[in-house]
Amino acid sequence: MQSRANGFRSSPPPELAITACQASPGGSSVLQDFESNCNVPHVALQESAIGREPLIRPQSDQIPQTPSDSRYQLQGEIARGGMGAALLGRDVDLGRKLAVKVLLDTHKEKPEIVERFIEEAQIGGQLQYPGIAPVYELGQFADKRPFVTMKLVEGKTLAKLLVDRPDPSVDLPRFLGIFEQVCQTLA
C-alpha cells in the first residue's frame, strides 16, 4: 500500500478530460480498487423509495452510455435548457445522489458552445454561496460531451410553487422572501 501511495504522490495530476470513468485502469473505480487492496468491507447504503417523485424523463435521449464500472450511474433527465440537460445521477464511490449537467448532443461539435459550457463550469466551481449549488467535477463522457457534476438540489421549483397558489396574494411574504434570496444570490 505504501508503494501505491508514493506512486500516487509522484504522478502528475490527471488531465481535465480524464474522468473517474476513464482514470482507473483495469476498469475499476477508485473505491473498488481501494477495497480490493485493503480488504475493507463494502457498506451498501440504500435510499428509501418512499415519497420519491418519479423522474420526468427516465429514458432521455441525452443520457450518454457509460461503462458498467463507471463511477457515475445516470438515472434520468431532470430538466433541459438550450445548451444542456440536467440528469439525475449517483456517485457510486461516495454513495450520494447528484446532478449531472451534460452538453446537448447537438452542440458537441460547436467549439464556441463547448468552451462556454466549460467556462460556466469553471466559474461555478469557484463560487461558494448558499444560493449556488457546489460544482464537484468537470469531465468528458466517451461521446466527447463535457459534463459537470454538482450538488443535487431537491424540492419544488419556484414556478411550481407559484402555479400551485390559489391566488397571487396567497403567501405573499413567503414569495417576497424567496425573491429576496434570489436577488442576494445574483448580486
pLDDT tens figures, 73-93: 999 999 999 999 999 999 998
The answer on 36 and 82 residing in a single domain is yes
Cα 150 from Cα 125, distance rounded (Å):
9
Check residues 153 and 35 and name the one with the higher pLDDT: 153
Q: Do residues 104 and 83 lie in contact, with contact meaning Cβ atoms separated by under 8 Å? A: yes
Question: Do 160 and 145 fall into the same domain?
Answer: no
Cα–Cα distances (Å) from 118 to 58, 75, 145, in that order, read 25, 23, 10
* Per-residue pLDDT, 62: 66
Neighbour tally for 6: CB within 10 Å: 10
Bridge partners, residue 76, by sequence: 88
For residue 45, pLDDT beyond 70 = no
Residues 92 and 179 in one domain: no
Residues 114 and 180 placed together within one structural domain of the fold: no
* Residue reference for cell 474522468: 19
Q: Which band of pLDDT confidence, cut at 50, 70 and 90, is reported for residue 37? A: low
Specify whether 139 is located in the same domain as 169: no
Tell me how long the chain is: 187
- The boundaries of the domain holding residue 160 are 156-187
For 172-185, what is each residue's pLDDT tens digit?
Answer: 999 999 999 989 88
Residues 20 and 97 in one domain: yes
- Residue 81, domain CATH: 3.30.200.20
Together in a domain, 98 and 143: yes
Tally of domains within the chain: 2
pTM: 0.63
Cell of 84: 444542456
Regarding whether 135 and 43 lie in a shared domain, the answer is yes
pLDDT on residue 142: 86
Which residues have C-beta within 8 Å of that of residue 105, sequence separation ≥ 6? 61, 62, 143, 145
Whether residues 43 and 87 share a domain: the answer is yes
pLDDT value, residue 135: 96
* pLDDT per position as a tens digit, 118-144: 999 999 999 988 889 999 999 998 888
